[in-house]
Structure 1
Amino acid sequence: MADHDQSLSLQELPPHLIIEILNSNRLSGTDLAFLEQSCKTFGGRSIHGLFPPNFRSMVDFAAFQLCSLNPLFASLPSNASNELFNRCGANWKRVLRFLQSIKQSSNMAETSSGNMQITTGRYHTLLIKDSSVYCCGFNPYGVLAQGHGIPFCNALTQINFPISSIKVSHISASHNHAAFVMKSREVFTCGSNSYSCCGHGEEVGQSIFRPKLVEALKEVPCKQVATGGSFTLFLTEKGQVYTCGINTHGQLGHGDTVAEPIPKLVHEEDMGCVVQIAAGPSFSLAVTDDGKVYSFGSGSNFCLGHGQQQNELQPREIEAFNGVHVVSVAAADEHVVGLDSSGFVYTWGNGYCGALGHGDESDMMTPELVHSLKGHLAVQVCARKRKTLVLVDDGSVYGFGWMGFGSLGFSDKGSSDKVLKSQVVESLRGHHVCQISTGMYHTVVVTNKGIVLGFGDNERTQLGHGSLKGFLNPIDIIVPEKDPY
């Protein structure tokens, strides 16, 4: 019988067990790098024959295997995966960190304080923490789901759903309405139902003050929502897109300008399998699993990326991305930002105040690479009124455009200054940011420690502080303990 008092060194563990631990999918690229540096068993070639000779170490091989299992990496054509590998200095651990950071920033961020997701509306903030939702800021038309007669939420306040056990997996907020995807894949909406943008058909124009199930999608499992200006996009598990609400410019993608009171399917043949959606004030964007981008709706400010300002009533592929595998897009009021599978950033639309990051205020009619960010691996892009923020794989944040009451985070600049080229947000240097979202005049980030920080305007308590004072430097936003009832 084994002597339980006798301890084994790491080097004495069976090699196959070490490989199993490394491939558990519980370790990050940073974890693997630490193991490689701190232990010769992981960092050297002491265990012969356990991994192919073209890998530098057991950890290097484990990182490669984890990359191969990643859905995004698996979807890349060989030229795109090779470019990413080279961009990461032929380092599989950094490739893995990039892929994991993309997932963290676009879905639920796994922090040391729990799983979190942040999103900002025009003058409000919504946060998921461990499947519960909290909100603060301005509450027009019931967008914060707190019931009648509550104009503001001065601090993060829990949103209650009809069923107390319900768990939320994704949220989106626009000017006056919000949408929530449950872990059950059902969708709830609330706020202004102008043009039936909440998808409840029979209640045209009536505000919805508590989260309400979108009955039309009850049997259609959804995974993502995007709220625009009085319209909503719903992305299903199968990669289909449904839309409802106002359709003056064709932003619903049905080939006409007829408003839809309940979610209606956008024809699949127009796009294929969609993996991400985004909504501007009157235009829509969709990214497919093969890296293509489709746009439809208002062509104002060249936001559709086709080189002209013509409206598109049906999804149209942005041809400027031919040969580029796009993974996500962000829609602002008058410009758009795209991110490709190699961590490059592209912008197009209205360049006022330097929102496109090209060193001037010129408009871009089609997507243009942001050259000042070429030396960085971007993992998330977000944009709102005349400004853009970019998160890179080491947890740093870069910004450009209009300071907008301090919402770019540059504490050394005036509240209305312009930043024409990307600059690192120094005030966040002490934090590893894993997710970011920006509203009209405020910005909120989540760190890997689960700290929520905000900066910019707070006149409508969108930063969760009742003082109404704005903040040029990041300030902690207190996340309350979950209500047990």
Structure 2
Amino acid sequence: MDAAISAAHEAPPAVVLVSAGASHSVALLAGNVLCTWGRGEDGQLGHGDAEDRLVPTVITGFEAPGITSVICGADHTTAYSEDEHQVYSWGWGDFGRLGHGNSTDVFTPQPVKALQGIKIKQLACGDSHCLAVTMAGEVLSWGRNQNGQLGLGTTEDSLLPQTIQAFEGISVKMIAAGAEHTAAVTEDGEIYGWGWGRYGNLGLGDRNDRLVPEKVSSVEGEKMVLVACGWRHTITVSSSGSLYTYGWSKYGQLGHGDFEDHLVPHKVEALKDSSTSQISGGWRHTMALTSDGKLYGWGWNKFGQVGAGDNADHCSPAQVNFPEEQKVAQVACGWRHTLAFTEKKNVFAWGRGTSGQLGHGEIVDRWNTPVIIDALSPDGPGSKKLESSAAIPFAAKIWVSPSERYALVPDEKVAKSGDVSARGNGADASVPENDVKRMRVSS
């Protein structure tokens, strides 16, 4: 970390949006300022090295004008320059998730040449795959594809963006990517699902995988307008503001008051009197923002990522309280942490923090309620400044093959209805105590 770019008494540039990955976070600020913090071992922070950052740090040397979108995958990051009509990506490159035509890690933002000149409406990143919706409503996908999550009709990974032919003649409005599945909402309000479907997370009424997008049966005659994916569950919102979830619910992440999986979209009755305006899915938790600025969270809460003030799992929505009852403008779920910024432009973080992804300058799991990120917030105490990185190219990086360094999370048994042993915050062999999802081999 080099020179601080803002004096302690000066308010930082206003936040435009936030996003969160497995163990890193990003924020786009007014004036085309891009900040990242948290785990950096794969280059996902974009600072030119593999160092963690415990506080928000400006990416220097990234001169792309008109950045309008920044989205985190698990261990990589993408951004879109509207002025240039150019997608950028950086971070862990295995399986082609960066779209550069190879599997090399990238430590500073680099243009995805295959997408140059294409007007992008939206980007979505999952664990190891990415998608883009064009302004014309077409969908391109790239990255890992072992369960068909790219929607291309195969299980072959793709190192470069490819058009999903199944959507020919169908205009897509929005996409969302989970760990190994994908969902989309069309301009006509239809939901589609594809990829890994063992927990019903495709919404198609069964537990089968799909290699191409398949339409979900209509939900109570409602048209859908929003969609988001957690690791193995899916969230969608109708034009009336009703919230629906489906898929895996071992930790209550569907919000239906129980721990039962749902194979088709099911309305979250606890929020039936509220109009949901934004949704986000974490590894095993869910957040929903209502039109009146209230934030609700539920699901796995071992690290306090739900934000309800405890560490107990919640199978029904719990309201998250903010200082002075500030209304929330945006929320973003990481795997085990959550970010939000309020209408007062204050940024808050809570949950898992052992890689610095909370931006508080610490590496501890301390927060189960929202805590202001000082360096990004006008109401912060001013003790931490917005840092800037030198962005020196990390030329000495040694590439390690996916087969050597990728360790899959062990398969879990599909819980049968009424299987109490599979519920709640108890032992789960597939939940790592730390955030390491893969093994590296020392050279």
Q: Which residue of 2 aligns with 1:157?
A: 57
Aligned residues: 367
Distance 1:115 1:341 in 2: 27
Q: Which residue of 1 aligns with 2:250?
A: 352
Deviation at 1:426, TM superposition (A): 3.0
Give the counterpart of 1:146 among 47, 59, 64.
Answer: 47
Which runs of 5 or more structure 2 residues have no equivalent in the other structure? Answer: 1-11, 377-384, 391-443
SS of 1:301's equivalent? coil
Distance 2:128 2:342 in 1: 31
Q: Which residue of 2 aligns with 1:430?
A: 325
Q: Which residue of 2 aligns with 1:265?
A: 163
Give the counterpart of 2:346 among 447, 451, 462.
Answer: 451
Deviation at 1:395, TM superposition (A): 0.8
Deviation at 1:271, TM superposition (A): 6.5
SS of 2:251's equivalent? helix
Give the counterpart of 2:219 among 321, 324, 348.
Answer: 321
Deviation at 1:481, TM superposition (A): 5.8
Q: Which residue of 1 aligns with 2:370?
A: 474
Counterpart check, 1:241 vs 2:139:
yes
Deviation at 1:183, TM superposition (A): 2.0
Q: Which residue of 2 aligns with 1:405?
A: 303
Residues 57, 386 of structure 2: 8 Å contact kept? no
Residues 142, 209 of structure 1: 8 Å contact kept? yes
Q: Which residue of 2 aligns with 1:119?
A: 19
Q: Which residue of 2 aligns with 1:200?
A: 100
Greater radius of gyration (CA):
1
Counterpart check, 1:183 vs 2:82:
yes
Aligned-partner residue type, residue 117 of structure 1: L
Q: How does 1:26-37 map to 2 (within 5 A)?
A: none
Q: Deviations over 1:96-140 (max 9, x none)?
A: xxxxxxxxxxxxxxxx96351011101111111113211110113
Aligned-partner residue type, residue 119 of structure 2: P
Q: Which residue of 2 aligns with 1:221?
A: 119
Distance 1:360 1:253 in 2: 31
Residues 230, 245 of structure 1: 8 Å contact kept? yes
Distance 2:283 2:174 in 1: 21
RMSD: 2.0
Q: Which residue of 2 aligns with 1:104?
A: none
Residues 293, 321 of structure 1: 8 Å contact kept? no
Deviation at 1:148, TM superposition (A): 2.4
Q: Deviations over 1:315-357 (max 9, x none)?
A: 1111143621111111001211111111110010111121111
Aligned-partner residue type, residue 174 of structure 2: Q
Residues 320, 369 of structure 2: 8 Å contact kept? no
Distance 1:237 1:482, change over 3 A: farther
TM-score normalized by the length of structure 1: 0.72
Q: Which residue of 2 aligns with 1:396?
A: 294
Distance 1:165 1:335, change over 3 A: closer
SS of 1:255's equivalent? coil
Residues 50, 107 of structure 2: 8 Å contact kept? no
SS of 1:198's equivalent? coil
Distance 1:115 1:458, change over 3 A: closer
Q: Which residue of 2 aligns with 1:255?
A: 153
Distance 2:80 2:61 in 1: 12
Aligned-partner residue type, residue 86 of structure 2: E
Q: Which residue of 2 aligns with 1:128?
A: 28
Deviation at 1:143, TM superposition (A): 0.7
Q: Report % sequence identity.
A: 29
Distance 1:315 1:324 in 2: 20
Q: Deviations over 1:381-405 (max 9, x none)?
A: 1111221111111111112212231
Give the counterpart of 1:339 among 211, 227, 237.
Answer: 237
Q: How does 1:56-95 map to 2 (within 5 A)?
A: none
Deviation at 1:262, TM superposition (A): 0.8
Taking CA–CA contacts closer than 8 Å with sequence separation of 6 or more, which of the two structures ends up with the larger relative contact order? 2
Residues 320, 366 of structure 1: 8 Å contact kept? no
Distance 1:337 1:271 in 2: 25
SS of 1:405's equivalent? coil
Distance 1:270 1:363, change over 3 A: farther
Q: Deviations over 1:400-422 (max 9, x none)?
A: 212231111111x2x2x121212
Aligned-partner residue type, residue 440 of structure 1: W
Deviation at 1:296, TM superposition (A): 1.0
Deviation at 1:466, TM superposition (A): 2.2
Q: Deviations over 1:450-477 (max 9, x none)?
A: 1001111211111112222321232111
Distance 1:447 1:426 in 2: 12
Higher helix share: 1
Aligned-partner residue type, residue 452 of structure 1: V
Counterpart check, 1:230 vs 2:128:
yes
Distance 1:161 1:250, change over 3 A: farther
Aligned-partner residue type, residue 461 of structure 1: G
Residues 275, 287 of structure 1: 8 Å contact kept? yes
Distance 2:297 2:167 in 1: 37
Distance 1:402 1:165, change over 3 A: closer
